């Protein structure tokens, strides 16, 4: 009896300690990540493959039946390594270890061109025994007095290699000085206690865990990109803008003024991303039936981007309009306009529009647009659902149906009027004139009534003023422009764009008045299920590449091979902002790759038959 009590107490203590010690041991293991400690804190980029053999086998399983390659990725890479080292045994190489490719700007060393930083690109290859690696692979020469060996093929040096802890550090054959400097930087080739801070010291706990746990991990330090490449990028964009200005002044076309605005817009976006993004990372996990990718954008604290990615209680709610998404669509899109991410994005997009508009949009108009956007957002309850379908027989060759949940129908209708007036007077349409496109936007109120719902109409016309191939392409893509129909019913703003808009707006009104409670279609439901929690994300997108190709072939004036292969799967993207980070999940189903491969094989067969007939 006593023994039983003691055993129970011991079991209880062990159970409690397991919750205390195991996480602590895991944290210790993560902080002791040898690979991260081999990379400096100033690392610009790093691509890491963990458990190399296993990850390649996982990739082979995902690509099996969907890849045109006759051999798997594991066999192909292994064959390349055999050729590189000159040994089928790959002596001393740890194929179950963690491999990495990285880049770092070398301090105190100027590049030969004086405009591009001197970047050292290295490959960390795990070894079981470095001496065995050098001695056992014929293409590896013995190390020199600085511990650097050459790897040669057919008598020509192709790589350099040197020992770094339990790794073989490789680099290009002409990068000897950088390799020696890198070893000094990391305190590897010197007895000095002064060593550079490592990448492990600047990553947070979640990044360290992701770097060690995910099969493939990629990381870019955007602050290092900004420091090393920002001035160069800014200078190049300025040169392009000056070139466009010179062409405009020479009388070669007003479109060069618009080109200046476009370059200015990109310069603004790039400058913001470089200054306000701390890092970007990708975690890639190939599974038998789906390739899962998690992209994380980490922002600099206190910046406008950081304020976008704060999360909110409302963004945790499920989007109750997803039933309006359509099976067979080119793209479905759902979002929560109540989230800080989507609200701030709408305001930021006005700054982008103003950059495109150039001098035609003054500060007063921009301020009014932002006020209007804020008022519209305040009038929404959050959920939005868009569905884009292809219509290859029409112009434009696509149509859109969407629903937006609103709090106050009358107020929202008034805001629509303000938005229409703003569009025609703000100078946005003047941007298209600079590109040689004459555009206009006209609205007609109360053109129809259906089941007690007043329907308004609008038309955006786009016509080339230049003639020639550009005009033909514009007409092929958009025809006379876009037709709109919309109405407000039961707390929803519903709108149809393109195609048979009269029929489509009635379909939407029928859906709303029927309760809009029908289940999500099987195709859309299967796509959303690929990312857990996608229905509660700040935004969610599904799209089909084969349908996109069909739309493109209908838009461009040149003849392209037609593909009308069956497809029912979709790539899915879902994003959520929180704690100063934007996390975007991407799911690529194997079924979609298989459908694409089948379609292109069908296209090749058609081309061969045409060649035989000719």
Average pLDDT, the chain: 84
Q: Residue 334: beta bridge partners?
A: 385, 540
pLDDT confidence of residue 18: 37
pLDDT in tens, 40-65: 999 999 999 999 999 999 999 999 88
Question: What is the pLDDT, as a whole number, of residue 111?
Answer: 44
Report the half-sphere exposure of 34 (CA within 13 A, side-chain side): 12
Q: Which CB contacts under 8 angstroms, 24+ apart, belong to 423-428?
A: 425/365, 426/357, 426/361, 426/365, 426/368, 426/369, 427/357, 427/360, 427/361, 427/365, 428/353, 428/357, 428/361
177-195 per-position pLDDT tens digit: 999 999 988 876 555 545 6
- In Å, how far from its chain's centre is CA 7? 54
The two tokens of residue 54 are: 């296993």
φ, ψ of residue 108 to 5 degrees: the values are 70, 15
pLDDT band at 167 (very low <50, low <70, confident <90, very high): very high
Is the pLDDT reported for residue 130 higher than 90?
Answer: yes
Per-residue confidence band for 255, with pLDDT thresholds at 50, 70 and 90: low
CA-to-CA distance for 554 and 220, rounded, in angstroms? 38
pLDDT in tens, 364-393: 878 888 888 899 999 998 899 999 998 877
| Distance from C-alpha of 334 to C-alpha of 342, rounded to nearest angstrom | 11
Q: Measure the CA angle with vertex 142, ends 141 and 143; round to 5°.
A: 115
High-pLDDT (> 90) share of the chain, %: 52
* Per-residue pLDDT reduced to its tens digit, 8-33: 444 433 433 333 333 333 333 344 68
Report how far residue 432's alpha carbon sits from residue 410's, in angstroms, rounded to the nearest whole number.
Answer: 32
The pLDDT of 447-462, averaged and rounded, is 92
Output the DSSP codes for 45-60: EEEEESSHHHHHHHHH
Instruction: Give the separation between CA 444 and CA 421, rounded to whole angstroms.
Output: 13
Q: Where are the domains of the chain?
A: 32-224, 287-613
β-sheet bridge partners, residue 126? 167
Rounded to whole angstroms, the Cα distance separating 611 from 607 reads 6
Alpha carbon distances (Å) from 308 to 337, 356, 384: 12, 22, 19
Cβ atoms of 234 and 271 closer than 8 Å: yes
Say what angle helices 205-213 and 2-31 make with each other, to 10 degrees: 90
For residue 2, pLDDT over 80 is answered with no
pTM: 0.87
Q: What is the pLDDT of residues 201-242, one digit of tens each?
A: 999 999 999 999 999 999 999 999 999 988 888 888 888 878
Rounded to an integer, the average pLDDT of 104-112 is 65
Work out the burial of residue 141: count CB atoms within 10 Å of its CB; fewer than 13 is exposed, 13-18 middle, 19 or more buried. middle
Model pLDDT for residues 394-428, shown as the tens digit of each residue: 778 889 999 999 999 999 999 988 888 887 776 66
Token reading at 422: 């703003």
Please give the share of the chain, as a percent, with pLDDT higher than 70: 83
Task: Write down the pLDDT at residue 551.
Answer: 86
Which segments of 258-378 are extended strands (E)? 277-286, 290-299, 331-336
Helix (H) or strand (E) holding 603: helix 590-613
pLDDT tens for residues 76-90? 999 999 999 999 999
Q: How confident is the model at residue 73 (pLDDT cuts 50, 70, 90)?
A: confident
């Amino acid at each position: 009896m006593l023994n039983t009590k003691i055993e129970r107490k011991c079991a209880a203590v062990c159970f409690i300690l397991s919750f205390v010690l195991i996480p602590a041991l895991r944290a210790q293991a993560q902080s002791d990540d040898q690979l991260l400690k081999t990379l400096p804190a100033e690392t610009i980029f790093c691509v890491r493959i963990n458990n190399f053999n296993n990850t390649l086998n996982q990739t082979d399983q995902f690509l099996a039946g969907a890849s045109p390659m006759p051999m798997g990725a594991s066999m192909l890479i292994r064959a390349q390594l055999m050729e590189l080292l000159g040994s089928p045994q790959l002596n001393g190489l740890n194929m179950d270890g963690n491999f990495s490719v990285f880049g770092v700007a070398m301090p105190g060393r100027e590049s030969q061109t004086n405009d591009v930083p001197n970047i050292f690109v290295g490959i960390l290859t795990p070894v079981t025994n470095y001496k065995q690696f050098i001695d056992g692979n014929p293409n590896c020469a013995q190390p020199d007095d600085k511990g650097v060996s050459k790897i040669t093929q057919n008598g020509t040096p192709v790589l350099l290699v040197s020992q770094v802890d339990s790794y073989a550090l490789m680099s290009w054959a002409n990068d000897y000085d950088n390799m020696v400097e890198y070893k000094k930087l990391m305190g590897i080739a010197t007895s000095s206690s002064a060593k550079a801070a490592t990448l492990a010291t600047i990553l947070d706990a979640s990044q360290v865990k992701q770097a060690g746990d995910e099969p493939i991990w990629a990381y870019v330090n955007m602050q290092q990109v900004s420091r090393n490449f920002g001035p160069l990028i800014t200078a190049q964009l300025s040169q392009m803008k000056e070139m466009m200005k010179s062409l405009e002044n020479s009388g070669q076309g007003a479109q060069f003024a618009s080109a200046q605005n476009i370059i200015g817009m990109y310069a603004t976006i790039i400058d913001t991303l470089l200054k306000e993004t701390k890092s970007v990372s990708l975690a890639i996990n190939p599974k038998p039936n789906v390739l899962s990718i998690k992209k994380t954008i980490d922002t600099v604290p206190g910046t406008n981007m950081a304020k976008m990615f704060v999360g909110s209680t409302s963004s945790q709610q499920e989007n109750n309009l997803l039933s309006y998404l359509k099976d067979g669509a080119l793209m479905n899109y759902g979002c929560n306009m109540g989230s800080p991410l989507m609200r701030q994005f709408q305001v930021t997009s006005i700054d982008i529009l103003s950059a495109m508009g150039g001098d035609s949009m003054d500060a007063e108009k921009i301020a009014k647009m932002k006020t209007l956007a804020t008022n519209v957002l305040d009038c929404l309850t959050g959920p939005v659902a868009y569905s884009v379908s292809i219509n290859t027989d029409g112009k434009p060759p696509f149509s859109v149906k969407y629903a937006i949940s609103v709090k106050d129908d009358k107020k929202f209708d008034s805001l629509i009027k303000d938005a229409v007036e703003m569009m025609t007077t703000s100078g946005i349409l003047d941007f298209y004139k600079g590109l040689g496109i004459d555009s206009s936007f006209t609205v007609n109120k109360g053109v129809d009534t259906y089941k007690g719902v007043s329907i308004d109409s609008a038309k955006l016309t786009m016509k080339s003023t230049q003639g020639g191939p550009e005009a033909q392409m514009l007409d092929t893509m958009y025809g006379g422009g876009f037709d709109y129909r919309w109405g407000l019913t039961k707390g929803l703003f519903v709108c149809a764009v393109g195609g048979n808009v009269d029929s489509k707006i009635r379909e939407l009104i029928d859906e709303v008045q029927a309760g809009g409670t029908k289940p999500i279609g099987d195709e859309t439901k299967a796509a959303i299920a690929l990312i857990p929690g996608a229905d509660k994300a700040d935004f969610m997108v599904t799209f089909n590449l084969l349908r996109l190709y069909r739309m493109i072939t209908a838009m461009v004036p040149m003849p392209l091979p037609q593909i009308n292969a069956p497809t029912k799967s979709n790539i899915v993207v879902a994003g959520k902002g929180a704690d100063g980070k934007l996390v975007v999940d991407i799911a690529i189903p194997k079924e979609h790759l298989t459908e694409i491969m089948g379609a292109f094989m069908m296209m090749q067969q058609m081309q061969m038959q045409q060649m035989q007939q000719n």
